[in-house]
């Protein structure tokens, strides 16, 4: 094996989201491929993406990809459904390293999981209006019915850390009551912020509805992709100083506290990046 290849295998994976939601995907990557380094970027200055236009989300995503490439990542995970829905196809054409979104893996698991052929999807306005989940699911099985519901207020509630709060329960109940009456047996958590309030959503939907978190399948597909491309890190990696690095566009301290609570270990730092420079 050449030194170059080894160096490339040792490079980090870039993961990005509009804020803290993508940490649910990063956490899954850390679990399933523990030898990989990660550079995480949370666009905390410009969150939420869900109510912004395709052009804006694509411009933001492009800047973040440029930043991650400057960090010499070997692959990128778009850990945001809205950016996956709006920008992934263009980004894929523009860069020459592997890039993976969360929507396709989530759609695949949901199609496999449904018994009655009725799947609900909750997400941002952008993700739901794009009908991207329905498009992918119908490529797998034309007969499956996909019912989308935008839940825009859930992202700010999560970003504020109101994960177990009566206000979040009340808002989630309002959004989900419509879906409860439609006999779905599978519900896709189509926004990377939502797994953080999974227990609330599960309680409201009841035991008969399977909740799909696309993060698990995304990490699994990432592992397969790295393996196929000969890019898996071969070295054993402990939790050293440079293994996981975090960058944000604003409010680094708040992000640091949040990340520490989700990842269950103290993150050393979150550095602010002026993302408009990229
Ligand atoms: N977590 C993101 C998603 O998966 C975006 C939330 C937002 O910024 O609106 O869609």
pLDDT digits (tens, 9 = 90+) for 155-205: 999 988 999 999 999 999 999 999 999 999 999 999 999 999 999 999 999
Residue whose tokens read 């599978």: 186
Q: Where are the alpha helices (DSSP H) in 95-188?
A: 103-113, 125-130, 132-140, 154-159, 166-180
Q: How far is CA 80 from CA 141, 174, 231, in A?
A: 24, 24, 23
Q: Is 80 a catalytic residue?
A: yes
Catalytic: which of 57, 102, 191, 270? Answer: 191
pLDDT at 267: 77
Looking at residue 145, its pLDDT comes to 98
pLDDT at 265 (0 to 100): 77
Give the pairing type, strands 13-17 and 38-42: parallel
| Mutation probe of ligand 1 site: the residue of 17, 46, 102, 125 with most atoms within 8 A of C-beta | 17
Ligand 1 site residues, Cβ closer than 6 angstroms: 17-18, 21, 47-50, 80-82, 123-124, 127, 155, 191-193
pLDDT of res. 1: 46
Q: Which is nearest to 29 in space by CA: 68, 78, 66, 64?
A: 78
CA of 153 to the centre of ligand 1 (A): 11
Write down the pLDDT at residue 142: 97
Beta bridge partners of 145: 118
Residues of the chain with pLDDT under 70: 1-3, 241
Helix (H) or strand (E) holding 69: helix 54-70
Q: Ligand 1 centre and the CA of 189: distance in Å? A: 11
């Amino acid at each position: 094996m050449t030194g170059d290849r080894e160096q490339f295998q040792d490079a980090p994976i870039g993961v990005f989201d509009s804020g803290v939601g993508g940490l649910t995907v990063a956490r899954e990557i850390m679990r399933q491929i523990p030898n990989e380094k990660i550079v995480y970027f949370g666009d905390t200055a410009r969150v939420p993406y869900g109510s912004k236009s395709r052009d804006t989300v694509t411009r933001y995503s492009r800047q973040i990809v440029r930043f991650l490439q400057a960090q010499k990542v070997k692959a990128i995970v778009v850990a945001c459904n809205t950016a996956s829905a709006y920008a992934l196809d263009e980004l894929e054409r523009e860069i020459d390293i592997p890039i993976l979104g969360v929507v396709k893996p989530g759609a695949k698991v949901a199609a496999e999981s449904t018994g009655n052929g009725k799947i609900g999807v909750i997400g941002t306005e952008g993700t739901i209006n794009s009908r991207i989940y329905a498009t992918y699911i119908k490529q797998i099985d034309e007969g499956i019915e996909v019912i989308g519901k935008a839940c825009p207020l859930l992202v700010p509630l999560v970003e504020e850390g109101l994960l177990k709060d009566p206000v979040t329960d009340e808002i989630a109940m309002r959004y989900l009551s419509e879906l409860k009456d439609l006999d779905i047996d599978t519900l896709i958590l189509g926004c990377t912020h939502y797994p953080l309030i999974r227990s609330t959503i599960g309680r409201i939907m009841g035991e008969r509805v399977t909740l799909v978190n696309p993060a698990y399948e995304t990490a699994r597909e990432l592992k397969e992709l790295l393996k196929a491309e000969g890019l898996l890190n071969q070295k054993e990696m402990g939790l050293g100083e440079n293994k996981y690095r975090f960058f944000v566009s604003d409010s680094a301290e708040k992000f640091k506290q949040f990340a520490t609570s989700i990842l269950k270990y103290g993150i050393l730092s979150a550095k602010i990046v002026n993302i408009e420079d990229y």
